[in-house]
Amino acid sequence: MSRAVGHTGSPAVAEEELLRAQVYGLLARLLSRAPDADFLAALAGVAGEGGEFGAALNQLAEAARGSDPAAVEEEFTTLFIGVGGSERTPYGSYYLTGFLNEKPLAELRVHMARLGIARADGVTEPEDHIAALCEMMAGLIGGEFAPEDGGTVDLQAQRAFFDRHVGSWAGRFFADLETSPSARFYRAVGAVGRSFLAVEARAFDLAA
């Protein structure tokens, strides 16, 4: 399910930028719905290339190999949907203010409009859901959105969006996900998200 839309067609991007976008896309997919058997099988073949992020990818692959799709579906429901309340609340407003639908969401919507991003038809969840934000980051990196001023979304613009709407809280969310009592497979997803965002933050600092 797509949560954000922009213009069609994307310019060619460098390989390292494409890899960044792919990781954000992976996180968006895993946090929007539980992986099915085919996706788990694909994840089982993932291999990291060293460092904390590489180790987290290896952990994700191992978790995928040892997971039953029905059990992961039940885990996803407990963690993010839940009858009477989910175990984790994956929204920026909640992490930043303690409440849903607060000022951070309003600020995000203004920023989205400037960048040419709109919520996709049929999506009812607030735009500050972690899956939506990861999808937006993937689109910003891949050049899928058209800013209202006609400019491009360069690294500086990516950083501004990341710092305000992702880096300000998502690392804590992923760390919480790693320690969630009901998390098994999603413990590894938390490790991937937390370590990847740390890499992103360091890269933005070095590029400043």
How far CA 164 is from CA of 41, 100, 105, in Å, comes to 35, 17, 11
Q: For 5, phi and psi rounded to 5 degrees?
A: -130, 155
The DSSP 8-state label assigned to residue 129 in this structure reads: B
Give the pLDDT confidence score for residue 51 in this predicted structure: 95
**Region for 151 from its dihedrals, namely left if φ exceeds 0, alpha if ψ lies in -120 to 50, beta otherwise:** beta
CATH topology of domain 15-207: TorD-like (1.10.3480)
Q: Hey, is 195 helix, strand or coil? A: helix
Burial 56-84 (b: 16+ CB within 10 A, else e): bbbbbbebbeebebeebeebbebbbeeee
pTM over 0.95: no
**Residue pointed to by tokens 């491009």:** 152
Give me the sign of the Cα torsion angle 183, 185, 188, 190: negative
pLDDT in tens, the chain (208 residues): 345 555 444 556 788 899 999 999 999 999 999 999 999 999 999 999 999 999 999 999 999 999 999 999 999 999 999 766 799 999 999 999 999 999 999 999 999 999 999 998 888 899 999 999 999 999 999 999 878 877 778 999 999 999 999 999 999 999 999 999 999 999 999 999 999 999 999 999 998 7
- Identify the H or E element spanning 5: strand 4-5
